[in-house]
Amino acid sequence: MEGEWSRDTQKYAVLTWISFLVAAAFTMLLFAFVDPLLIVDSINVAFIESRNAGYAIGFFFLWANGWAAGWLTLRLVRRKRTGPGSQAARR
C-alpha cells in the first residue's frame, strides 16, 4: 500500500508530536512564573523587544530539548535481545 510510513518515520512523527505537546504544557507553566522579557534580555539581542518573542524563544527551546531527550531515549532503548537470556533462546 502506498503512503505507509516506515517504522522509523512513525517513531519520529510520534516523538515530534509528543515533544510539541510537552513543550506547550511546560511553556504555560514556565511563563506563569517567569516574565518572557527576562529571556529576551538574557540572550542580549537588541532587535527583539516583545514578550511574544520571549514566548516563542522559550517554546522552541523547550520543544528542542524535549525532542532531543526523546531521540536519545529512542537510541538507548534495546530493540531485540539475541543473547542467551532472550525469549528466542529459551524456546
Residue pLDDT, tens place only, 18-58: 999 999 999 999 999 999 888 778 877 777 778 888 889 88
CA 84 from centroid of its chain's CA atoms: 35
- Quick one: pLDDT band at residue 1, thresholds 50, 70, 90? low
Q: Which tens digit of pLDDT belongs to each residue from 59-91?
A: 999 999 999 999 999 888 867 667 666 665 555
CA distance 60 to 23: 8
- In terms of phi and psi (left: phi > 0; alpha: psi -120 to 50; beta: otherwise), the region of 44 is left
Give pLDDT, residue 17: 95
User: How is residue 80 written as a grid cell?
Assistant: 531485540
The pTM (predicted TM-score) of the whole model is 0.73
User: How is residue 19 written as a grid cell?
Assistant: 515533544
